């Protein structure tokens, strides 16, 4: 298949926001599919892919790996200042509300920079499907618009919780603007349950990224013996080494205060 993945974070970004789309793109390329991974530029200010060179780039690409395309933010927009909180609070809230009403989010500067690329990618690549990852609603907009240009279905992916990123007054309105998605994929079952409140009509599947199925399976029925060591597993991104150190020190203080001697019987792993 020919698939376009759309994600907010450039695949070289050293952050969890880049992982899901990059990993799926690389995995599907390894299975023989032709994959374009379309993202913002690295750190939002890096170089974008030259629009005029994309047809030849697609023609010459070695499809053993995803073809990376970075599309620019338009210059002169007030949206970077809105996103970074550089406006007074009331003015900023008003601008955010206006952009959610008009554009379903605050990344229209990236959408405007990306739109000229969509017909070029459609004509040169002829995608079978578009898979857009919710890093922000601009990714869904571009997935939706590319699918319309290319006359193919698009899949809306939710790696982040809808309620945490969409202001409450706009959640149902904006979810309704994307109800033409052919399918909905989510990072977790809780994300899926949340999205069913607004997009119950879209067929949906939970696809975990980075977690083996064995982690999610119940223990074998014959596993009745209590292990000698209790395990604490931190799974996710702490982001801050000082916060991780604070967790370990707090755990140590708690263990010291327990009546039973737990030292040597607790193991901690951070994945």
Q: What is the pLDDT of residues 42-58, one digit of tens each?
A: 988 889 999 999 999 99
Per-residue pLDDT band for 59 (boundaries 50, 70, 90) equals very high
- At which residue do the structure tokens 């008003």 appear? 94
Average pLDDT, stretch 22-28? 94
Dist CA 68 CA 5 (whole Å)? 10
pLDDT value for 40:
97
Q: Is the pLDDT of residue 263 over 80?
A: no
Average pLDDT, stretch 12-25? 91
pLDDT value for 85:
93
Average pLDDT, stretch 172-197? 93
Per-residue pLDDT band for 67 (boundaries 50, 70, 90) equals very high
User: For the whole model, what pTM was predicted?
Assistant: 0.82
Quick one: CA torsion of 64, 65, 66, 72, rounded to 10 degrees? -140
pLDDT value for 44:
85
pLDDT value for 162:
85
CA 250 to each of CA 90, 194, 245, 264: distance values in angstroms, whole numbers, following the listed order? 39, 33, 9, 17
Average pLDDT, stretch 147-157? 98
- At which residue do the structure tokens 């698939």 appear? 3
Per-residue pLDDT band for 225 (boundaries 50, 70, 90) equals low
Q: What average pLDDT does the chain have?
A: 91
Average pLDDT, stretch 132-149? 96
Q: For residues 3-40, b (16+ Cβ closer than 10 Å) or e, as one string? A: bbbbbbbbbebeeebbbbbbebbbebbeeeebbbbbbb
pLDDT value for 270:
84
Of 199 and 33, the structure prediction assigns the larger pLDDT to: 33
DSSP-derived letter for residue 52 is G
Q: Is the pLDDT of residue 96 over 80?
A: yes
pLDDT value for 179:
95
Q: Is the pLDDT of residue 97 over 70?
A: yes
Q: Is the pLDDT of residue 264 over 90?
A: no
pLDDT value for 255:
83
Q: Is the pLDDT of residue 222 over 90?
A: no
Q: Cα–chain-centroid distance for residue 252?
A: 35
Dist CA 22 CA 5 (whole Å)? 9
Dist CA 142 CA 157 (whole Å)? 13
Retrieve residue 97's tokens.
Answer: 């509300």
Per-residue pLDDT band for 84 (boundaries 50, 70, 90) equals very high
Within the chain, what is the greatest distance between any pair of CA atoms? 70
Of 166 and 258, the structure prediction assigns the larger pLDDT to: 166
């Amino acid at each position: 298949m020919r698939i376009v993945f759309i994600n907010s974070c450039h695949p070289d970004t050293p952050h969890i926001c880049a992982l899901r789309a990059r990993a799926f793109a690389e995995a599907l390329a390894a299975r023989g599919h032709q994959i374009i991974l379309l993202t913002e530029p690295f750190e939002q200010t890096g170089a974008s892919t030259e629009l005029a060179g994309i047809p030849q780039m697609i023609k010459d690409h070695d499809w053993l790996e995803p073809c990376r395309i970075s599309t620019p933010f338009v210059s002169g927009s007030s949206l970077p200042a809105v996103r970074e909180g550089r406006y007074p609070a009331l003015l900023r809230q008003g601008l955010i509300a206006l952009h959610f009403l008009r554009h379903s989010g605050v990344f229209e500067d990236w959408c405007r920079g990306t739109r000229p690329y969509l017909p070029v990618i459609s004509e040169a690549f002829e995608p079978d499907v578009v898979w857009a990852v919710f890093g922000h609603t601009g990714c869904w907009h571009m997935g939706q618009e590319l699918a319309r240009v290319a006359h193919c279905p698009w899949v809306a992916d939710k790696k982040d919780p809808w309620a945490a990123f969409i202001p409450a007054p706009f959640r149902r309105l904006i979810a309704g603007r994307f109800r033409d998605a052919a399918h909905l994929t989510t990072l977790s079952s809780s994300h899926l349950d949340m999205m069913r409140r607004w997009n119950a009509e879209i067929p949906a599947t939970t696809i975990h990224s980075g977690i083996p199925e064995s982690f999610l399976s119940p223990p074998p029925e014959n596993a009745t013996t209590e292990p000698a060591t209790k395990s604490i597993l931190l799974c996710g991104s702490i982001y801050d080494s000082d916060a991780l150190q604070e967790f370990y020190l707090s755990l140590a203080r708690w263990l010291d205060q327990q009546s039973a001697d737990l030292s040597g019987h607790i193991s901690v792993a951070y994945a």
